[in-house]
Chains A and B, each alone.
Chain A
Amino acid sequence: GQNIDQPTEMTATEGAIVQINCTYQTSGFNGLFWYQQHAGEAPTFLSYNVLDGLEEKGRFSSFLSRSKGYSYLLLKELQMKDSASYLCALKGYGQNFVFGPGTRLSVLP
């Protein structure tokens, strides 16, 4: 099975940088994905990692270390609209996704 862990809640200030961590235990996976979900809405895709390293995509970057079972999502130049839940998910070899518990981020003025 897969065990995914994320901090439950985080708070940061507008304009700052925040790092949301995701640790996991699994026998294998195809890729690690990050999604943003605003309350009452479906998740939207942010970033993914297949290989170790950093993937940068505008204000969002994601990092993966398979040997350490660890990933993080980095959000730069935080905006109020970034207040949302952030979900990391492992994509299995069968194309299914297993989601972590999610981290609720609050961005304060």
Chain B
Amino acid sequence: GAVVSQHPSWVICKSGTSVKIECRSLDFQATTMFWYRQFPKQSLMLMATSNEGSKATYEQGVEKDKFLINHASLTLSTLTVTSAHPEDSSFYICSANEAARDARETQYFGPGTRLLVL
């Protein structure tokens, strides 16, 4: 299957700072990438859909000015958590679909980034 990487895998930061997380599709082009957040013992919650060359689409309740998403190329999307607070501490996971649209096509998940805000 296709490979998606995330960097960093772990980040600890002070409250008020900004953190950037990168999501890369390594062996395929991804016109669409998705950003999820997962709290302990809960399921994945979609935050936003990142579209190459256009603005991201945010889910209801997700602040677009706090979670900045940039999808500058077909292989890279970034999520920046601005002015992070302890309640932003979570497991952030990205995923990507291949460019070919297919009902059978699954999403390929990155390994996730664990963020801890002190």
Task: Report the separation of the CA atoms of residues A31 and B46 in the bound assembly, to the nearest whole angstrom.
Answer: 17
Interface-lining segment among A10-18, A65-73, A75-83, A93-101: A93-101
Give the tally of cross-chain contacts (CB within 8 A): 52
Task: Report the separation of the CA atoms of residues A31 and B106 in the bound assembly, to the nearest whole angstrom.
Answer: 9
Chain B residue numbers with a CB within 8 Å of A41 are 111-112
A95 touches B109 (CB 8 A): no
Chain B residue numbers with a CB within 8 Å of A94 are 49
A42 touches B1 (CB 8 A): no
Tell yes or no: A43 within 8 A of B by CB: yes
A101 touches B42 (CB 8 A): yes
A45 touches B106 (CB 8 A): yes
Chain A residue numbers with a CB within 8 Å of B106 are 33, 45, 48
Residues of B within 8 A of A (CB-CB), count: 26
Q: Indicate which residue in A42, A91, A101 contacts B43 across the interface (CB closer than 8 Å).
A: A101
A96 touches B49 (CB 8 A): yes
Tell yes or no: B78 within 8 A of A by CB: no
Task: Report the separation of the CA atoms of residues A94 and B43 in the bound assembly, to the nearest whole angstrom.
Answer: 20
Distance in angstroms from B25 CB to nearest chain A CB is 14
CB proximity to A under 8 Å, residues B9-31: none
B49 touches A31 (CB 8 A): no
B104 touches A96 (CB 8 A): no
* Residue of A whose beta carbon sits closest to that of B106: A45
Q: Indicate which residue in A30, A43, A87, A98 contacts B46 across the interface (CB closer than 8 Å).
A: A98
Q: Indicate which residue in A95, A99, A100, A104 contacts B101 across the interface (CB closer than 8 Å).
A: A95
Task: Report the separation of the CA atoms of residues A87 and B95 in the bound assembly, to the nearest whole angstrom.
Answer: 15
Query: Nearest 3 pairs between A and B by C-beta?
Result: A42-B109, A30-B103, A99-B44
